[in-house]
Each structure stands twice: as structure tokens, then as C-alpha cells.
Amino acid sequence: MRSLPVLLLPLVLGACAVGPTLSQRLSAYIGRSEGELVSGMGVPVRSYETEGRRFLQFERRTTVAVSQPDPFYGYGYWRYRPWMNTPAYAELQCDITFALRNQRVESFTLNGEGC
């Protein structure tokens, strides 16, 4: 019976593991062609060319649930508050810009609160 905690340890540690970050996932595109980038990311929303470099911008939007403050906090716990169960949502945006030279991804930058 003592071996049970030892057997559960990998499961507990595995539950705490998180996947790769956005930067780690996007770094896989470094060195790839423009076609591979568009194939993986979709059609860019903007593009710009200057001094032999091409910049492709992609938008990423996520919706997250946020908690609403209770305006009657401190006026009694049992006060009627119909908005307590009303969820609130916020949209977070992340602009991802890839820099390409000779049709190969050179670098990328992230900008926004959703990155």
C-alpha cells in the first residue's frame, strides 16, 4: 500500500505541466518559408515591404471570463445581488508580426495584452 503514493507521483506532476508558450510555438516558424507560415497561421491581416524585408501581421483574439466587483460589498452578505451570477467577459488581442527576408521567416514580435 505504500507504493501507491509513489505510483501516483508521476500523475500529479503531469497534471501540473503546462504546454509550450506562444513564443515557443511561434519560434518553430523561424527559418521556414512564407508559404509554410501562411499555411500554419492563416492569411495575414496586413503586410508591408521595405528595404528587402517583408512584414506579415496576424491578429489573435481570445475571450476570457473576468470577475465583476460587487458594488454593495460591506453592506451585508445576504443583500439581494442579482448580478452576482452574471458572467463578464473581456476580449484580449495579440498582434503577431513576422519579419521575412528572402521569403524566409527571420524573426517575430508580439504586441498586446493577450500575448
Q: Are strands 88-101 and 53-66 parallel, antiparallel or unpaired?
A: antiparallel
Is residue 3, in this structure, part of any structural domain at all?
no
Enclosing domain of residue 82: 19-111
3-state secondary structure of 16: helix
| pLDDT one-digit tens code per residue, 56-110 | 999 999 998 887 655 555 555 555 555 555 667 889 999 999 999 999 999 999 9
Number of domains in the chain: 1
Is residue 13, in this structure, part of any structural domain at all?
no
Is residue 8, in this structure, part of any structural domain at all?
no
Is residue 65, in this structure, part of any structural domain at all?
yes
Given a contact cutoff of 8 angstroms between Cβ atoms, the answer to whether 58 and 40 are in contact is no
Give the ranges where the chain is alpha helix by DSSP (H): 3-16, 22-26, 34-41
Q: Is the pTM of this model over 0.85?
A: no
For residue 89, what are the contacts with CB-CB under 8 A and spacing of at least 6? Answer: 63, 64, 65, 66
Is residue 45, in this structure, part of any structural domain at all?
yes
